[in-house]
Amino acid sequence: MIMKTESSFLTRREFLKAGASAVLAAGVGQPFAPSAAESGAAERIRGKADACIFIWLGGGAAHVDTFDPKARGDGKKKPGSYYDAISTAIPEAQVCEHLKQTAPLLDRCVLVRSLSHGIFSEHGAATNLMHTGRRPSETIIYPSIGSIVSHQLGAKTDAVPAYVVMGYPNIARDPGFLGPKHGYVYLTQIETGPNGLMRPPDVDAARERRREELLAAWQEEYHRTHPDDQDFRAQAAISQQGFLMAGPEFLQVFDLSREQPSLREAYGGEFGQRCLLARRLIQAGVRFVEVSFNLNFLNGTGWDTHNEGQLNQHLLIKDLDQAFATLLLDLEKHRLLDTTLAVIATEFGRPPEFDSGGGRGHQSAAFTCVLAGGGLQTGRVIGQTDELGKKTVGRAVTVADFHATIHTALGINPHRNLYTSDDRPVPITDRGRPIAELFG
């Protein structure tokens, strides 16, 4: 594991040279100014959650094979779902037969079945859109949703980070113009803890203290002679936070052996253990944990089920089902479900038609994401698609609306302005409006 220390003042050339991962936010176009009524409504709707577990199905999970099943296709010429559908705890909603553990718990969830955007050809662009809520700009690097939550809420204690990512590092998760303070801690190992924060075996406590004192003295001298170097100040703050997180309070979170063997077994394999760790991180005070389900070896392609990846897609769905159902019950047992918003998201869906290899292409005109817990009015289906799942019918939910709903659930006003380094206002969401009926 490494701690990301990306700076909002580094160029890409400097990034490649120094190993950082952020670029300068030079400016922004005309900001969206919400009406007084919109701002007032957002302030009145305040969610009950104080943390978020964001499960990312990278590759584009097929909604018609998971949370929005349709009539069966034949895997060749006849379009449709690849699996049978089963009933759920929501009377009018069915899900894929391989979601049998989640189905009876769906009353804790909201199925958002009418998400839609216009990017279907590029995974990276769609991933960035789903993480930032905006299309890229030539003049600004927008912050990810995790970084915004970090900026707005902060960690619950100085001993833990506000934002943790389990999965591949990617600019879509970066803090953009918010700066390195709101970057993420990135996990490569889920049980050994953050290697970048662990003391080498040949460095005892006294030697570590001497190193910290030397660094602090050098930083103080540099601050004195370079008072306007905001980039350095941000990096220094990150290093100080790292020292705090190197203590036992944070590192013991990664000791999954503290959990009952039966619970670890219930969560399942590698992805399930990541979900268990996410619950422990939230308990410890982390605000936003992204858990990437990027285990492509299960079916050869991950959720990007072109060609033969479709054949063993059920292995992915079963792993998701086992881990997510156990997470819901585990959060409930620890009385965290009402205050923890659990999200299942993906960059786009997949069409009902099959390609020449028996898999599916990309589709962004209609797909499904899931919200659970978080004090929402759950047991609901928001939006619907046509008989094949190709288009939304009636109410469409934009990515900005989806983000606004997440922020509102966390008590964050989605219309509030953030500010770039030159004090230009940027609203937290791009005209996003929360799904009002989910808030009591």
Domain extent at residue 177: 2-198+246-438
Using 50, 70 and 90 to split pLDDT, how confident is the model at 200?
Answer: low
Q: Report which of 53, 15, 78 is spatially closest to residue 358, judged by C-alpha positions.
A: 78
Tell whether 103 is covered by a domain: yes
Token duo for residue 220: 């103080």
pLDDT of 116 strictly over 60: yes
pLDDT of 213 strictly over 90: no
Tell whether 222 is covered by a domain: no
Using 50, 70 and 90 to split pLDDT, how confident is the model at 55?
Answer: very high
Gyration radius of the chain's alpha carbons = 22
Q: Which residue has the higher pLDDT, 412 or 11?
A: 412
Residue 224's CB: how many other CB atoms inside 10 A? 8
For residues 8 and 175, give the distance between their C-alpha atoms in angstroms, rounded to a whole number. Answer: 8
If DSSP codes are grouped into helix, strand and coil, which group holds residue 269? coil
Tell whether 234 is covered by a domain: no
Tell whether 157 is covered by a domain: yes
- Give the pLDDT of residue 170: 85
Using 50, 70 and 90 to split pLDDT, how confident is the model at 217?
Answer: low
Tell whether 139 is covered by a domain: yes
Tell whether 212 is covered by a domain: no
- Give the pLDDT of residue 206: 63
pLDDT tens-digit map of 226-284 = 676 666 565 555 555 554 555 567 888 989 999 999 999 999 999 999 999 999 999 99
- Give the pLDDT of residue 26: 28
Q: What is the mean pLDDT of residues 284-301?
A: 92
Using 50, 70 and 90 to split pLDDT, how confident is the model at 46?
Answer: confident
Q: What is the dihedral of CA 66, 111, 145, 38, to 10 degrees?
A: 150
Residue 206's CB: how many other CB atoms inside 10 A? 8
Q: 31-40, 182-191, 361-370: which has the minimum mean pLDDT?
A: 31-40
CATH number of the domain at 271, please.
3.40.720.10
For residues 245 and 243, give the distance between their C-alpha atoms in angstroms, rounded to a whole number. Answer: 5
Q: What is the DSSP string of 36-79?
A: HHHHHHHHH------EEEEEE-TTT--GGGTTS--SB--SSSS-
For residues 196 and 49, give the distance between their C-alpha atoms in angstroms, rounded to a whole number. Answer: 30
Token duo for residue 90: 């929501």
Token duo for residue 426: 């940027």
Token duo for residue 248: 């036992």
| Burial class of residue 147 in the structure, from the number of CB atoms within 10 Å of its CB (0-12 exposed, 13-18 middle, 19+ buried) | buried
pLDDT tens-digit map of 80-110 = 999 999 999 999 999 999 999 999 999 999 9
pLDDT of 172 strictly over 80: yes
- Give the pLDDT of residue 189: 72
Tell whether 181 is covered by a domain: yes
pLDDT tens-digit map of 352-405 = 999 988 999 999 999 999 999 999 999 999 999 999 999 999 889 999 999 999
Query: Nearest 5°: phi and psi at 187?
Result: -100, 130
For residues 233 and 221, give the distance between their C-alpha atoms in angstroms, rounded to a whole number. Answer: 12
| Count of the separate structural domains present in the chain | 1
Q: 17-31, 114-128, 243-257: which has the minimum mean pLDDT?
A: 17-31
DSSP annotation of 349? B
For residues 131 and 4, give the distance between their C-alpha atoms in angstroms, rounded to a whole number. Answer: 17
Residue 3 makes CB contacts below 8 A (sequence gap 6+) with 161, 183, 185, 186, 194, 196, 197, 238, 242, 245
Tell whether 148 is covered by a domain: yes
Question: pTM for the complete prediction?
Answer: 0.83
pLDDT tens-digit map of 282-291 = 999 999 999 9
